[in-house]
Structures are given as C-alpha cells and as structure tokens.
Amino acid sequence: MIDNLIILRIQSYKNNTKGYSFQELKQLPNFSIVSSKNKIYFGQVFNGQKHGKGVLLMDQDHVYEGEFNNNRKHGQGWEIFPSKSYYQGLYVNGKPEGQGKFTWANGEYYDGEWFNGNKHGQGTWMGLKGDMYTGFWIEGKPNGKGQHKWINGDQYKGEFKDSLKHGFGEELFANGDRYVGIYQNGKPEGDGEYFYSSGAYFHGKFKNGLKTGYGEYRCSSYSYKGYYMNDKKHGEGELIYQDGTRKKGKFFNDFYEKTVLRQSSVPNNTQPNETPPKNYQELVKACLKPPTYLSSTKPNTQKQQASPLNKTVIIQRNRLDFNSSEKPQKILQIQTGRQNSKREFQEKDTNLKQQEKVVLQKKVSLNVHSNKSSPKNQPHQQTIYKQPSRQPQEQSFRFDTTKTSFVTKTGLKGKQSFKQRSYSKYD
C-alpha cells in the first residue's frame, strides 16, 4: 500500500545519475511504484517484476539506481552502501561484473575489471597517500604481473601471488638501492643481484630476504667471494682488500678465523719418527704370514702315497710370536719308518709289473697255440696265479689316498697286518 510518507520520500529523493529522478522515470512506459519489506521501488515494471530503469530505496541509506532484469540488478548502475562506499559500473545477475569503479569511504578506490562481485582482471588500486597497485587481479587479490608503489617511495615491478611479490621482479628503494632477482612470499629468495646506491654490488644467493649461500660482493675498499649466512660472511671465503692484502679461509659472523698452529708440549726428541725401520718389510711379511697351526693342518692337494703301516702323527702347535723376527717352525714327528715302507712298496710294485708282462706273454702264446690245435677256436682258461685263501679279483693297484688314518692300530698280538695283493688271469 502506497501512503503519503512513501510518496514524500520518493519525491524528495535526489538522484546521482542523470535520468533517474522521479519526474524523469515517471515519463517512461510501464512506470510503477512497488513497496515491500522496508524497500521502495519506483521505475519500470514488467509482469510484476522490476525490469528496466528504476531506483531501489533500502534501509540505512542503501540505494541502487540503474537497470534491472527480472528483479535483479543487471546492466549499468550505481550503488551506495551504508558505509558510504559506492560502486559505479556494470552488473550481471545482481553482482558487479565487467568494468567498474569502487570507491571506499576514506577515498581509496579500485578502477578496473570485475567478475562475480570480485576484482578480477586488469585493474588499478589507489591508496590515500599515493601508494598504488596496477596490474592483474584474481578473485580480489593481485596475481600475475603488476606494479606496486609504497608510501615511502619504494617501487616494485614484477610478478605477484596472493598480494605478495612472488617470482621474478625488480624493486627500486627510496634510498637508491635496487634489487633484481627472484622473490618468494614477498622476500628475495634464490638468485639475485643487489645494486647499492654507494656503488657496491652483490650477486649470489638469498634466503628469506637475506644473503645466504655463495655470493660475490665488491665495493670501493674490498671484494669478497665466498659463503654468507643471514647477511654475514660465514664459511669458506676469500677477502681481498684494495691494497692487495688477502684473507682466505673460514669466516664466522663477518669475522675471519685465523688458523694458528699449536706447538706440542712433547719434546722434539720424543716425537714419533715417520721413517719406517730397516726391517720394516720383514715385519710386514711376518704379520701377514698365517700362523703355524693353520699352515700345518691345511690339507695337501697333491696326491699322496698310501702307506701299509698305520702311523701316528704328533702335531705341536706353537703360538705365533709377532714380536720375534724369527719365523715359526713346524714340529712334525712321525714315529714309524715311513721312508723304508715307501721303498718296499716301490720294489713290490716293480715286481708286480714284471709279473704282468710275463703273464701277458704267456697268454698270447697260449691263444696262438689254441687257435692252431682247435678249428672251432674254443676259449681255453688257465689260472696263472691264484691264492687259495682269496677269491680271484681284478688286478688293481689303486691305493686309497683319500682316507689316511692318523691313529695307531695294532692287532691283539701287537703285530701290524698287511693286505695281500691279488690278481686274476686275463681272459
């Protein structure tokens, strides 16, 4: 219901944009006045909805004048908020979108592109005392390439991320210094160059805004090449003064650590002699040679002659004395007459070989005789030598060399027994 108070408020309204006074809007087609929930609208209406040009009066001096589309702010418009800040520009579906300018109550303003009610795209923000930013925005924050100027006169031109200097950029300070390099989270990080207003120059690594890592610095009085930590010379480096004096070594918090050789309190005549002794090689050989008890029990890879006698080998193990220059000696005692038994076996072996030759000759002669006497060549067997106490066995003179017993064995009567060798007639 439209009463007289509403009519008086509409008639007393002073428009901000040309063409939006009550008298001007009243001349437009489909003009109407709509009042609901502390809101008063006067302007064009279509199918019961705000559509076209009009003015919307709300509580606390919140006013919008501009274009509508199906009850939503859409198109060119001007809006003043209860905080006395105001926006003038394009609207899409009730929110600023496109080109527009927002002015805060204190005088700051942003003039640029908008999207979905946020500063988005190319735009410029201007502060109260000359500080400003112009560049690219994403969702209300500087992102991408831009330029920022502070109140104190510092200027930065480069890349931004979430309102902070991030990426490659160049900063010019009010005192005349200049930095060119990489930024991270608003501070120099990584490789960079710093040009001092005094003429000095630094090129190297930065971390958290301070010189940290390897770098090179030069000025009118000296030059330095080496490592830094927290803006101070720290680590290996070389300092060269203008007069040619050098300091090369380790630095600690900008101070040079001079290395001083400490003199030992031990007299010179007691210092260890680094020259090896005369018998140095002999001592090394003695130390590297295995102990006697290891070498004496090491199995022999050569073929051993079997002995018919059981032997007892007594091995004496001596402790290796590394302090003695004499080589350890092996004590190996054999209680039986090994050499005599070996000689006897060689003689028996020779006799057996001669007997073999005789047997072969007789066999050949017997075969020839049998072939002549018998036309059917029937085989004829004849025993040349046979022991009555043992069965005929094939001639074998192999001695078991893999099993050598070192334990004394004697019979019940204390006599050692020998195995008799036998062979059979060849067929």
CA distance 344 to 347: 5
CA distance 191 to 51: 59
Percent of the chain with pLDDT over 90: 50
Lowest mean pLDDT among 58-67, 175-184, 335-344: 335-344
126 burial via Cβ count (<10 Å: 0-12, 13-18, 19+): middle
CA distance 156 to 74: 37
Residue written as tokens 């309190």?
265
23 burial via Cβ count (<10 Å: 0-12, 13-18, 19+): exposed
pTM of the model: 0.58
Indicate the pLDDT class of residue 349, thresholds 50, 70 and 90.
confident
Q: What is the mean pLDDT of residues 368-376?
A: 50
Residue type, 27: Q
Contact present, 248 and 236 (Cβ < 8 Å) = no
Q: What is the mean pLDDT of residues 125-138?
A: 94
Lowest mean pLDDT among 33-37, 83-87, 121-125, 295-299: 295-299
Indicate the pLDDT class of residue 364, thresholds 50, 70 and 90.
low
Contact present, 39 and 61 (Cβ < 8 Å) = no
Indicate the pLDDT class of residue 228, thresholds 50, 70 and 90.
very high
Contact present, 305 and 399 (Cβ < 8 Å) = yes
pLDDT at 117: 94
Q: Structure tokens of 287? A: 């130390």
DSSP 242: T
pLDDT at 351: 76
Q: What is the mean pLDDT of residues 316-342?
A: 47
Q: Structure tokens of 116? A: 């979905």
CA distance 14 to 2: 20
Highest mean pLDDT among 34-43, 213-222, 265-274, 351-360: 213-222
What's 335-367 look like in SS3? CCCHHHHHHHHHHHHHHHHHHHHHHHHHHHHHH
Contact present, 241 and 222 (Cβ < 8 Å) = yes
Residue 323 has pLDDT above 90, yes or no: no
Contacts of 347 (CB under 8 A, 6+ apart): none
Provide the total of helices (H) and of strands (E) in the chain, helices listed first: 5, 23
pLDDT at 164: 95
DSSP 269: G
Lowest mean pLDDT among 47-51, 118-122, 386-390: 386-390
Residue 292 has pLDDT above 60, yes or no: no
Lowest mean pLDDT among 151-165, 219-233, 331-345, 401-415: 401-415
Measure Cα distances from 176 to 165, 172, 173, 210 in Å. Answer: 20, 7, 5, 18
